[in-house]
Amino acid sequence: MIDLHCHILHGVDDGPQTLDESLAMARAAAADGIDTVVATPHTLNGVYRNPSEAVRSGVDALQKALDAASIPIRLHVGGDVHLVPDMMRAIHTGEAVTIDDQRKYILLELPSQSLPPSLTEEIYRLRIGGVTPIITHPERNMALAQNSEILFDLIDMGALVQVTAMSLTGGFGEFVRGVSERFLEQRLIQVIATDAHSVEGRPPALSLAVEAAADVLRDPDEALRMVRETPAAILEGNAVDIPEPRKSAHRFRFFRRLQAPAWRRDDA
């Protein structure tokens, strides 16, 4: 399996702080059946700045350590890039790191409670520039959780969408799991990734989330594509075939069952 979103580099953000912790994450990923990891430290979020040159250096160093420890994980460069004005300029200067540094795909992190007014404009500019944004963990964004029509529009513009593995398995609470399942039912998700930060708190594991997705989709092959064929195509810089998004007759069923305080507890 391929993990497109993983905070595995140590000492660069709120992920592991030591090499030993990074190696422990890699061992856990390999034990779960992951063989390829995109290292995606936080970038341009007002706290961390990890330009492409620094990420490449970190990936090279960690890959040598993985090889020396006989851990069968292949690393690639990437970034968990916060949406900022003029994303294309940030990509060209190396401030915003694209997946495998190919300037074809980029992980795009949005604020947790709202959507920037410039979101559609920035996605349009990225697409015109030949870059496909992958919206990360929309199930944990309040605005998107309340209105999936926005995701329909973003996908129609050419964006892709990634759900966090722990969201599907209940690690962020029942509210977030319900939103994740609804997005899956509507075929608004194309990639499952770990967004791992540690072995214990947010582990680098995909297998249980794939099983959960298969139950929702009633199609194990479709679930596996989200951690195999689709991320493989993204890593290669190729176009991705995605299922047609569909409207759901049960759009708001989870919001009737769970009240707003549950969201605030999940998002803490």
- What is the per-residue pLDDT across 219-249, written as a single tens digit (0 to 9) for each? 999 999 999 999 999 999 999 999 899 875 4
Q: Which range has highest mean pLDDT (46-55, 126-135, 257-266)?
A: 126-135
What are the residues whose beta carbons fall under 8 Å from the beta carbon of 62, sequence distance 6 or more? 8, 9, 10, 19, 22, 39, 75
Sign of CA dihedral 112, 33, 25, 42: negative
**Domains of the chain: residue spans and CATH:** 80-266 (3.20.20.140)
User: By the 8 A CB rule, do 70 and 33 touch?
Assistant: no
pTM: 0.91
Q: Which range is least confidently modeled, 29-33, 37-41, 108-112, 177-181?
A: 108-112
The pLDDT value recorded for residue 114 is 86
